[in-house]
């Protein structure tokens, strides 16, 4: 992206120009509602004027509900253009969760649907579809230079707010555009949450800044996605591995795969069995994204042969470098890097990644490239052997009867910990599964406890929430 487009105001203006250029053509859609480029531009202009009158500016932390999509995207660019910092929030945020966010980042304002009961205070301004409320406790602080404050997933530890500047978003948009060859002739289907770094980066940042139409979904609706794929227009589906598995199963006896579809997954690895099934049923090339909330996208594999895609991470995006430290952690240096974490409405200077960001992901270099073998936070210590739950889970998912799984450690007085495996559905034959694992795993990695349940608690993207099972 042109260097002049790395300021917050320049990005907001670029988005407006893309919406204007699309005119009557659809720019943002969700479920059964669509907004033309002209409608998106008008919504952006209305919010920019209203939020400006409300005093939004540098130093403000503005929480923005990430649904409906047209409102969220225009909220984001309106606040960005005014110099504020946007904090994307889950679309199902409760009042209790909103209060809990106060321990992560001090929101000074909140944009929410006009019919929402949740506000930060009585001081409010309204647009045709949104309400902006100001917090009575928190006031704008000294500007941090951040365009966004994105919540980390918190699936294995407490949430934090990663602050990223406009220049990082510009580099992210350009990186995705080059790696995925996005064009306005293609339709991006995005059934992943917009407040997550993956959905936010592909849809709200890259597609929006390059004028690529996006259709969002609040939840995975396989039939609706398939209908969108069958309209004859080239499609890029940004998804995660559990969603791809469900989509392939939903095709059933369909005689022919959709036309000109490319598949993309991120957030978690794609096991080989699922990759092969999805590729054979949908007849589509598969690509992957590896990244973190703190660093933005790191590696992007252009959709291609699934057998190559699942072997290792793809090439780093321009300007990104990867290394392994002495403990085997992946270290990222990138122009898309966060400034640091927020603390009390300001930048926590102790969290600034001066020497690169240590991801917490354990990596290994193979003949195929760099692969992720697990996370240190979830590692299981079996008599001194460090077992990666993710590697054991990859074996479990190769079994044809296993739908999803979770591997975790249980306390053991002699070994320290033992490996335990929970699988779905509850009808899995555990004796056969144990034998399946014995043929593939060495003793420290072999689960000593097997159980089968109907479902496992997951995040909105299908990732199992480990802390709900382990504690």
416: three-class secondary structure by DSSP: strand
pLDDT score recorded for residue 180: 95
375, 402, 437: which is the final residue of a domain? Answer: 375
Radius of gyration of the CA atoms of the chain, in A: 22
pLDDT score recorded for residue 141: 81
Same domain, 457 and 335: no
pLDDT in tens, 383-400: 767 788 888 998 999 899
Q: How far apart are CA 373 and CA 367, in angstroms?
A: 15
Going 73 to 79 to 80 to 81, the CA torsion angle's sign is: positive
Same domain, 80 and 217: yes
Q: For strands 416-424 and 404-412, give the pairing.
A: antiparallel
Same domain, 296 and 390: no
Q: How far apart are CA 430 and CA 436, in angstroms?
A: 10
Same domain, 119 and 169: yes
pLDDT score recorded for residue 250: 74
Comparing 26 with 231, which gets the higher pLDDT?
26
308, 342, 375: which is the final residue of a domain? Answer: 375
pLDDT score recorded for residue 42: 98
Q: What is the CATH number of the domain that holds 149?
A: 3.40.50.12780
Residue 405 main-chain phi, psi, to 5 deg: -160, 165
Residue 73's pLDDT band (boundaries 50, 70, 90)? very high
Q: How far apart are CA 338 and CA 164, in angstroms?
A: 4
pLDDT score recorded for residue 468: 46
Please compute the mean of the pLDDT values over residues 227-234 and round it to a whole number: 77
Min mean pLDDT across 45-49, 357-361, 450-454 is at 357-361
pLDDT at 471 > cutoff 70? no
Same domain, 370 and 387: no
Residue 288's pLDDT band (boundaries 50, 70, 90)? very high
pLDDT score recorded for residue 229: 76
The CA-atom distances, in angstroms, between 234 and each of 19, 172, 188, 210 are 20, 22, 9, 16
347: domain range? 1-375
Same domain, 19 and 126: yes
pLDDT in tens, 141-154: 878 899 999 988 65
Residue 248 main-chain phi, psi, to 5 deg: -65, -40
Min mean pLDDT across 158-162, 169-173, 316-320, 321-325 is at 158-162
pLDDT score recorded for residue 179: 94
pLDDT score recorded for residue 106: 85
**Position of tokens 């997933």?**
153
Comparing 344 with 113, which gets the higher pLDDT?
113
pLDDT in tens, 299-313: 999 999 988 888 889
**b/e map 209-245, b = 16+ CB within 10 Å:** bbbbbbbbbbebbbebbbebbeeeeebbbbbbbbbbb
Q: What is the CATH number of the domain that holds 413?
A: 3.30.300.30
Same domain, 20 and 128: yes
Same domain, 180 and 233: yes
pLDDT in tens, 188-227: 999 988 998 999 999 999 999 999 999 998 776 777 777 7
Closest by alpha carbon to 397, among 360, 366, 428, 419? 428
pLDDT score recorded for residue 64: 95
pLDDT score recorded for residue 109: 93
How does the average pLDDT of the chain come out, rounded? 87
Same domain, 359 and 413: no
pLDDT score recorded for residue 256: 60
Interacting residues of 353 by C-beta distance below 8 A, sequence separation 6+: 294, 337, 338, 340
Cis peptide preceding 161, ω within 30 of 0: no
322, 354, 375: which is the final residue of a domain? Answer: 375
Residue 389 main-chain phi, psi, to 5 deg: -60, -35
HSE (CB half, 13 Å, CA atoms) of 45? Answer: 10
Min mean pLDDT across 110-119, 153-162, 231-240, 448-457 is at 153-162
Same domain, 303 and 446: no
Q: If phi over 0 gives left and psi between -120 and 50 gives alpha, with beta otherwise, what is residue 79?
A: alpha
Cβ proximity of 208 and 184 under 8 Å: no
The number of domains in the chain is: 2
Comparing 336 with 218, which gets the higher pLDDT?
336
Please compute the mean of the pLDDT values over residues 405-430 and round it to a whole number: 90
Cβ proximity of 334 and 296 under 8 Å: yes
Same domain, 338 and 259: yes
pLDDT in tens, 239-269: 988 788 778 777 765 546 666 889 999 877 7
Going 22 to 25 to 29 to 34, the CA torsion angle's sign is: positive
Same domain, 364 and 452: no
């Amino acid at each position: 992206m042109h260097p002049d487009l790395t300021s917050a105001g320049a990005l907001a203006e670029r988005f407006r120009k893309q919406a204007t250029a699309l005119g009557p053509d659809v720019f943002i859609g969700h479920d059964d509602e669509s907004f033309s480029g002209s409608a998106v531009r008008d919504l952006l202009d209305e919010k920019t004027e209203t939020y400006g009158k409300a005093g939004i500016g540098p130093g403000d932390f503005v929480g923005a509900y990430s649904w409906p999509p047209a409102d969220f995207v225009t909220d984001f660019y309106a606040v960005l253009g005014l110099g504020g910092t946007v904090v994307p929030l889950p679309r199902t945020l409760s009042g209790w969760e909103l209060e809990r966010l106060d321990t992560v980042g001090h929101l000074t304002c909140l944009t929410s649907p006009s019919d929402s009961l949740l506000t930060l205070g009585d001081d409010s301004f309204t647009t045709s579809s949104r309400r902006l409320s100001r917090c009575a406790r928190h006031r704008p602080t000294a500007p941090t230079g951040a365009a966004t404050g994105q919540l980390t997933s918190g699936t294995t530890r407490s949430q934090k707010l990663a602050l990223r500047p406009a220049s990082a978003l510009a580099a992210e948009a350009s990186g995705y555009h080059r790696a995925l060859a996005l064009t306005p002739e293609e339709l991006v289907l995005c059934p992943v949450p917009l407040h997550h770094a993956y959905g936010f980066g592909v849809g709200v940042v890259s597609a929006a800044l390059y004028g690529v139409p996006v259709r969002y979904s609040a939840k995975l609706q396989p039939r609706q996605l398939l209908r969108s794929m069958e309209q004859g227009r080239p499609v890029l589906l940004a998804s995660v591995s559990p969603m791809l598995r469900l989509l392939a199963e939903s095709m059933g006896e369909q005689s022919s795969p959709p036309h000109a579809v490319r598949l993309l997954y991120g957030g978690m690895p794609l096991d080989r069995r699922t990759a092969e099934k999805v590729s054979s049923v949908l007849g589509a090339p598969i690509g992957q994204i590896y990244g973190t909330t703190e660093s933005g996208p790191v590696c992007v594999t252009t959709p291609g042969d699934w057998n190559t895609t699942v072997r290792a991470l793809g090439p780093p995006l321009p300007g990104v470098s990867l290394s392994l430290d002495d403990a085997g952690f992946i270290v990222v240096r990138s122009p898309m890097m966060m400034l640091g974490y927020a603390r009390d409405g300001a930048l926590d200077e102790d969290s600034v990644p001066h020497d690169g960001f240590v991801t917490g992901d354990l990596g290994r270099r193979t003949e195929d490239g760099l692969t992720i073998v697990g996370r240190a936070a979830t590692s299981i210590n079996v008599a001194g052997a460090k077992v990666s739950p993710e590697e054991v889970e990859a074996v479990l998912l190769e079994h044809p009867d296993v739908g999803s799984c979770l591997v975790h450690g249980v306390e053991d007085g002699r070994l320290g910990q033992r490996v335990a495996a929970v699988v779905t559905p509850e009808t899995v034959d555990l004796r056969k599964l144990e034998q399946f694992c014995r043929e593939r795993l060495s003793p420290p990695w072999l689960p000593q406890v097997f159980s089968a349940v109907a479902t496992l608690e997951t995040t909105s993207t299908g990732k199992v929430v480990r802390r709900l099972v382990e504690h």
